[in-house]
């Protein structure tokens, strides 16, 4: 059982950022001189959310299935929720680019569906993180958190609800879709953010000694 909540805090931080991107994407109108700004905000939201969902599939679901009690049902419930969110995100993209199939929907209704689907997916992802935190030790949790961040860098930038999500077929699908998405992002001129990298950990006392770079605590009393 882990004693650190690093995975849970990382997921909460990510979802806070995604919620902020959602609120920016929902904001109507464009600033003066920036007519394409609303579309860019939607692109950034879609890409960031899609990358995170694909990274969760790649990094968190395999250990959850194998190392968490009743992991099969846990993964099944999560995937149902995540796929529903991906379907809604695909509707957002179609609505953004004026698909005739979206003509019966208005933006307020689309965004309402997105918020509901995001809330449900976030709830299932937090359960996933809680169960993994109880099942794994601290080094394993640190590794999963780092892998989750790095996997977002190479994840597809668009939702793909109908491609495989787990196992070897899921891995192959993500690799193919990452290449395909990069091509179409360039063709369509879509904005794709790079996930923020984790700050480097401060060296410990032994490392400071060998690096000849001592770092003193500013709050600790100093002897004259």
pLDDT tens column, 147-187: 999 999 999 999 999 999 999 999 999 999 999 999 988 88
Q: What is the pLDDT, as a whole number, of residue 104?
A: 64
pLDDT at 199: 47
Name the pTM for this structure: 0.81
In a domain, 139, yes or no: yes
31 against 159, higher pLDDT: 159
What is the C-alpha separation between 152 and 55, in angstroms, rounded?
Answer: 5
- Domain membership flag for residue 222: no
In a domain, 205, yes or no: no
User: pLDDT-derived band of residue 222, with 50, 70 and 90 as boundaries?
Assistant: very low
Beta strands in the chain (DSSP E): none
pLDDT at residue 3, as a whole number? 72
pLDDT at 67 over 60: yes
Average pLDDT over residues 38-61: 93
219 assigned to some structural domain: no
Which tops the pLDDT comparison, 192 or 150?
Answer: 150
Tell me, what's the pLDDT at 162? 93
Domain containing residue 20: 6-196
Tell me the Ramachandran region of residue 204: left when phi exceeds 0, alpha when psi lies from -120 to 50, beta otherwise. beta
Maximum average pLDDT range among 31-45, 78-92, 175-189: 78-92
Query: Looking at the domain assignment, is residue 212 inside a domain?
Result: no
The runs of H, that is alpha helices, within 31-166 are 37-59, 61-67, 71-96, 107-135, 138-153
Mean pLDDT value of segment 195-217: 51
CB 17 within 8 A of CB 48: yes
Residues 104-151 have pLDDT tens digits of 677 788 899 999 999 999 999 999 999 999 999 999 999 999 999 999
| pLDDT band for position 30 (cuts 50, 70, 90) | low
**221 or 93, higher pLDDT:** 93
Q: In total, how many domains does the chain have?
A: 1
Gap between the Cα atoms of 3 and 7, Å rounded: 11
Asked, for residue 149, whether it belongs to a domain, the answer is: yes
Residue 148 lies in a domain: yes
Give me the mean pLDDT over the 63-82 stretch: 95
């Amino acid at each position: 059982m882990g004693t650190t909540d690093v995975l849970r805090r990382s997921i909460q931080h990510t979802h806070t950022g995604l919620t902020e991107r959602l609120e920016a994407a929902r904001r109507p109108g464009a600033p003066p001189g920036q007519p394409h700004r609303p579309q860019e905000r939607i692109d950034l939201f879609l890409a960031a959310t899609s990358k995170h969902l694909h990274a969760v599939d790649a990094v968190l679901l395999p250990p959850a299935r194998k190392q968490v009690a009743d992991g099969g049902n846990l993964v099944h419930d999560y995937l149902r929720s995540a796929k529903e969110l991906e379907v809604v995100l695909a509707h957002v993209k179609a609505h953004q680019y004026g698909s005739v199939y979206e003509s019966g929907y208005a933006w307020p209704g689309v965004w309402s569906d997105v918020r509901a689907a995001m809330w449900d997916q976030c709830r299932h992802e937090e359960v996933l993180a809680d169960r993994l935190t109880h099942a794994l030790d601290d080094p394993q949790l640190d590794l999963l958190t780092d892998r989750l961040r790095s996997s977002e860098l190479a994840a597809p930038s668009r939702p793909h609800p109908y491609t495989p999500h787990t196992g070897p077929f899921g891995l192959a699908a993500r690799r193919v879709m990452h290449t395909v998405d990069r091509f179409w992002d360039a063709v369509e001129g879509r904005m794709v953010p790079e996930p923020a990298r984790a700050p480097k950990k401060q060296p410990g006392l032994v490392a400071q000694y060998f690096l000849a770079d001592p770092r003193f605590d500013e709050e600790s009393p100093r002897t004259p």
